[in-house]
Structure 1
Amino acid sequence: MSTATPGDGVIRQLKVLPWEDLKAFESFYKEHFVKMVIFCEGITGDKDLAGQLVQEAFCKIWENRHSLQHVTTPSAYLCQTVRNTALDYIRRYRRELHDQTFSDVESERGELPLSEQLTPLVKRAAAKLPTKCRQIFEMSYLEGLSKEDIATYLDISPLTVKKQRVIALRKIREELLPLMDKLLLLVWLLK
């Protein structure tokens, strides 16, 4: 009588992924939908929007089901998909809101406010940053995401986000410092 250990070639029972057939996917959907709406509402702050975004996440999973054979924990994958869908929506919404505000200001005044005139200079300086540092800077200061949202989206710690933002600001400040004297003089002359 011998007992088999996990390393002795014991046949493991393989789980069927919930998106391998429609019935399994429907069951997976019914089991997780309400929990995912509650989770997503915590990100968006809007229950109706959360429901729509969860629907969208399930649709993405179903549409890409053939490329998801590597997924080992479907519920964790669903949670990540819902979170990314919500964060993508928030980013798009903020960008659209910013674009709308920008066009409203432009049409009202006929000229750009000083902060908008400086934005291209800041973007040019940010383009010289290392890729990850630049991405964090843009998400934080140009898109307005919080450090927690950025950390969640990039799957890094909030402390890393904080450190990268400090590095980005220091490097951009160093890049723009020679221009600051000229800019201050120009602002003073325009008064």
Structure 2
Amino acid sequence: MGKDKQIQSLFQRVCYENDIQAYNELYIALCARLIHFSASIVSSFHLAEEIVSDVFITLWQKRNDLSHVDNPVVYLYVSTKNLSLNTLAQQKKHQHRSLDHINLDMLSIAPDAENGMVSAEVAQKIEKAIRSLPTRCQLIFRLIKHDGLSYREVAILLNISTKTVDAQLTIAVKKISQVIRFDLSNEIVQSFLRIDS
């Protein structure tokens, strides 16, 4: 069973069967991704953990009203985004924050060095190339490449078109491949940068 199908199944068991075990498994499957995403907005892993915990508490409280949700991953990302932005607004009453002021260091996840696909040195070069991207471009790349969201899911989450997602990813892949093409074989570059829509 694919990861998305597994998450869909867990979500349905929570909503239809009040299954606490499925709820715990759903939390384990998504919490790290959601915490990194929230931390990129609120600039605090501690606060992000509280936010994601609150998102899941709310999910459990509203579970009987959520059977209409088609895509639980997008639902939970959007819930996390909204609660993160609301938390920031409460903390900084007069400062309006949006995803344009995102802290991308919190999203930093070194690419596949731990899997032995690339050396730590090359992983650092890749991370540096990713960080050199414009904010929105970098966020889109990380959500798709690291968090495994689809173009459509990212488009919904960020309130942009799938064409914009595609255009931003094209920019990201081009810039990153220029930086790392001298360090890696073309095959590894293509493998690392391959993104399925």
Q: Which has the higher helix share?
A: 1
Larger RCO of the pair (alpha carbons < 8 Å, separation 6+): 2
| Greater Cα radius of gyration, structure 1 or 2 | 1
> Normalising to structure 2: TM-score of the pair?
0.43
> Normalising to structure 1: TM-score of the pair?
0.44
